[in-house]
């Protein structure tokens, strides 16, 4: 991709002359040229060397808004209370993975912090980007402003910074990576594509869209397993479970276990909205998250069986997904209305010279 402020268009002969002149696009502002140049840079993929300590690195995927951050904040908190050393890394451009953990406070992101430090000629330090609460360590990779860059490239840049900070030498029992599952570009698939984690967990609910995302993640895992990858799916967390059973049916067909089902309960909704951690030992919901913590730690990575589109739709009633709809082909009259003109063929016929 060219980063210059203009590009050449096909040349058109001028009237009365055999010569041709280039048609130039309107000049681009210096800021626009700088943005194009930045977008054209292909970053180096981060190193994927193994940590020196036996660390479980787990990537958690799910549809945006399905409750990954809620699940991970409470899961990481409970695991820390059970004596595990846990690092939670938000890999979502919204940078809201740690908001519940820190009572609604925004955590400075790695991308934003590294940009400021670079302008000031300073190096990023651990204390600039990593924060802790009651034994849980957490950080946010962050992402670009809307329309100002690629979120996947931001993820890659964030992991490059983690490498420089000594990621593979850190001493943790568990590293939990919170990834947005709706997006399929390269940066968001790094843990699966480059074996950066040992296993994947999907968070979903009893709705088609979240299960569609979960199925896509399973498809990605299966694709890279065929290419020699080692990442597997450890299971599914059903969040906002209303008891209808579609998510559990999906997990059974995909060959992965349900690690926990978090009910659609008003107390959970209210306390989550108040940035209140409910995954506490001795609390009302403590046993649920303690069981989830144990299952997350012990569940082996498995090779999933992704569902076809028809199999996925088959989990729901026809009234819900519209399976009774018949596809009707459009024709030229539909597209052009009164201006439609029947043509016998689409073959291009050239007049004799």
pLDDT: which is higher, 151 or 23: 151
CA gap 246, 253 in Å, rounded: 11
* Candidate list 84, 85, 94, 253, residue with the active-site label: 94
pLDDT higher than 70, residue 339:
no
Reply yes or no on whether 132 is catalytic.
no
| 5: in domain | no
Reply yes or no on whether 182 is catalytic.
yes
Total number of domains constituting the chain: 1
pLDDT for the residue numbered 136:
94
* Candidate list 96, 173, 182, 276, residue with the active-site label: 182
Reply yes or no on whether 240 is catalytic.
no
| 37: in domain | no
| 126: in domain | yes
| 32: in domain | no
* Candidate list 63, 92, 199, 241, residue with the active-site label: 63
| 82: in domain | yes
The pLDDT confidence band at residue 269, using thresholds 50, 70 and 90, is: very high
Which span out of 36-40, 303-307, 340-344 was modeled with the highest average pLDDT? 303-307
| 248: in domain | yes
| 352: in domain | no
Domain with 116 in it = 59-311
Reply yes or no on whether 117 is catalytic.
no
Kindly state the average pLDDT of the residues 232-260. 96
The CATH number of the domain holding residue 217 is 3.40.50.300
Kindly state the average pLDDT of the residues 142-149. 61
pLDDT for the residue numbered 155:
74
| 246: in domain | yes
């Amino acid at each position: 991709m060219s980063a210059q402020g203009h590009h050449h268009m096909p040349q058109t002969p001028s009237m009365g002359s055999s010569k041709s002149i280039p048609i130039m696009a309107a000049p681009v502002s210096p800021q626009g040229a700088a943005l194009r140049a930045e977008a054209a840079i292909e970053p180096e993929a981060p190193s994927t060397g193994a940590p020196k300590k036996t660390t479980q690195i787990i990537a958690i995927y799910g549809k945006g808004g399905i409750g990954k951050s809620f699940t991970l904040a409470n899961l990481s908190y409970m695991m820390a209370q059970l004596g595990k050393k846990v690092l939670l890394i938000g890999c979502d451009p919204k940078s809201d993975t740690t908001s519940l953990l820190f009572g609604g406070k925004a955590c400075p992101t790695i991308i934003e912090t590294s940009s400021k430090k670079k302008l000031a000629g300073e190096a990023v330090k651990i204390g600039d980007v990593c924060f802790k609460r009651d034994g849980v360590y957490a950080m946010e990779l962050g992402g670009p402003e809307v329309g100002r860059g690629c979120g996947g490239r931001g993820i890659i840049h964030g992991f490059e910074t983690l490498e420089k900070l000594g990621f593979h030498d850190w001493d943790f029992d568990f590293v939990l990576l919170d990834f947005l599952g709706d997006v399929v570009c390269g940066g968001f698939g790094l843990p699966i594509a480059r074996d950066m984690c040992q296993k994947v967990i999907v968070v979903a609910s009893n709705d088609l869209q979240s299960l569609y995302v979960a199925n896509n993640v399973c498809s990605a895992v299966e694709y890279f397993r065929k290419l020699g990858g080692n990442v597997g799916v450890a299971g599914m967390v059903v969040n906002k479970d209303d008891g209808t059973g579609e998510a559990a049916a999906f997990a059974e067909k995909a060959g992965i276990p349900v690690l926990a089902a978090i009910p659609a309960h008003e107390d959970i909704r209210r306390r989550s909205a108040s940035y209140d951690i409910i995954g506490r030992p001795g609390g009302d919901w403590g046993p649920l998250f303690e069981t989830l913590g144990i299952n997350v730690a012990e569940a082996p990575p498995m090779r999933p069986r992704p569902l076809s589109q028809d199999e996925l739709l088959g989990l729901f009633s026809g009234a819900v997904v519209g399976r009774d709809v018949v596809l009707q082909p459009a024709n030229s009259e539909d597209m052009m209305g009164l201006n439609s003109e029947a043509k016998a063929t689409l073959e291009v016929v050239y007049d004799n010279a």
